[in-house]
Every structure is written in C-alpha cells, then in structure tokens.
Structure 1
Amino acid sequence: MARPKIERRICGRAAHHCFKPNGIPYSQLDKIDILPEELEALRLADLERLSQQEAAEQMGISRQTFGNTVKRARYKVAKSLVEGCALVFPDEESNS
C-alpha cells in the first residue's frame, strides 16, 4: 500500500490551460499533463532561483521529494519542447 500523499503548498498557477506548438491544432498533438506541484517546483527552482532546500520548505515537502518532483517536471517540459507535444495544466480539482 502506498504512503498517503502529503499536501503540497502551491502558490503559482498556470496562466493558461495548455502550452502548445504554433500552427498545429490541439486535437492533433500528443499531450503531456504537468501536475500543479510540478509546475510549482519549476517556478521555485528555475524562476525564483531558490535552492532545493528553500523550495522544499516553501512547498512543505522534503528536499528529496522536491528534487524528484522538479526532475519529473523538467523531463516533461523537455519532452514537450523536443517532440512538439502540448503541455497541459490540468485543474487541481481533476487530480483529486
């Protein structure tokens, strides 16, 4: 049985529903969901330039969990950019 997921503190939100390549209809693209906590990890690490420890404290999670989260987020963003996929920001409610 998996451990219960610790609630993450998330301050940032995506400005749009998705980010996609120009000129290709959304319906024709592969989609990659990026979770709210993954987007928050990217914001704290790359936009705010916080250390992993500082960012983990802000999110209320361990440094190791933060590192794993930001690693997953960076992989998804890189895959989206390189392979031309739509990066989708699902509503928090749909993840419950």
Structure 2
Amino acid sequence: MPRPRKRRRVCSLPNFKVFGPLNGTINQDDFILLTVDEYEVIRLIDLEGLEQEQCAERMDVARSTVQRMYSNAKKKIADSLINGKILKIEGGDYVLCDANHKKCSPCFGGRHRHRRNGSQHID
C-alpha cells in the first residue's frame, strides 16, 4: 500500500488565476493547469528568493518534492509562454496555512494574506 500523499502548505491563494495570450482563438488544447502548490513553489523560490530547502521547510515537504514541483512548474510556464497557451492556476494537494502557523510568519515580508469569511485581508 502506498504512503498517503502529504498536503503542501500554501500561504495564500493567487489573486490572478488565468494568464495567456490576448490574441487568437481559445482552444481547449491550449490550456495548461498549474496547481496551487506549484504556484507557491514559484512564488517562494523566484519571487521571495528562498532556497529549495527553505521552501521545503515552509511548505512542510521534502526538498526533493520541491525540486520536482519547481521543475514541473517551470516547464508548464515555459510551454505557456513559448506556445501561446493559457495558464490556469487551480487544484493541487495543499492546505492553506493559518495566521498562527509558526512557519508562515515570514510570508509576504511579514504581512499575511489569509481568507477569512470569504474575504482577503492583510494583517
């Protein structure tokens, strides 16, 4: 029996979930799905400047898992940019961190973004 999959910790959901070319027709084959946990890896490594090990600690997963997700996410983003496909961010195996989670405190430069009662706010 395989080991149960560990849910990845994500600080917040993306504000923008669909990206793509503005010209041309939209075909269902032209959609690429980037999961929320892959989005979080890109955010932490490329935007926040964390190392893979730091990212893994923040997301509560192994460094090898971060490395695999990062590689998959970069391929999807490159496919979207090079081939003019629409990139949608949704799904994945994740859990949103809460404001009291000790590993979340550095997220967003000390500011937190969490959904409470259906609305977003910054603490």
In our comparison, the structure showing a higher alpha carbon Rg is: 2
Question: Residue 77 of structure 2 corresponds to which residue in structure 1?
Answer: 77
Equivalent pairs, count = 92
Question: Residue 4 of structure 1 corresponds to which residue in structure 2?
Answer: 4
Higher mean C-alpha deviation, range 33-42 or range 1-10:
1-10
Counterpart-to-counterpart distance in 1, 2:65 and 2:76: 17
Question: Residue 28 of structure 1 corresponds to which residue in structure 2?
Answer: 27
TM-score when normalising by structure 1: 0.85
Query: Alpha-carbon deviation of 1:40?
Result: 0.3
Task: Flag structure 2 segments of 5+ consecutive residues without an equivalent.
Answer: 94-123
SS at match of 2:87: strand
TM-score when normalising by structure 2: 0.68
Query: Alpha-carbon deviation of 1:4?
Result: 1.7
Greater RCO (Cα-Cα under 8 Å, separation 6 or more): 1
Counterpart-to-counterpart distance in 1, 2:76 and 2:91: 17
Query: Alpha-carbon deviation of 1:69?
Result: 0.6
Question: Residue 119 of structure 2 corresponds to which residue in structure 1?
Answer: none
Counterpart-to-counterpart distance in 2, 1:88 and 1:58: 24
Q: Percent identity at matched positions? A: 34
In the TM superposition, structure 1's runs of 4+ consecutive aligned residues that sit over 2 Å from their partners are: none
> Does the CA contact (< 8 Å) of 2:37 and 2:92 recur in 1?
no
Mapping of residues 15-94 of structure 1, within 5 Å: 15-25=15-25, 27-28=26-27, 30-91=30-91
Counterpart-to-counterpart distance in 2, 1:20 and 1:57: 31
Q: Normalized per residue, which structure has more strand?
A: 2
Query: Alpha-carbon deviation of 1:73?
Result: 0.4
RMSD across aligned C-alpha pairs, in angstroms? 1.8
> Does the CA contact (< 8 Å) of 1:12 and 1:43 recur in 2?
no
Task: Flag structure 1 segments of 5+ consecutive residues without an equivalent.
Answer: none
Amino acid at match of 2:21: P
Query: Alpha-carbon deviation of 1:24?
Result: 2.9
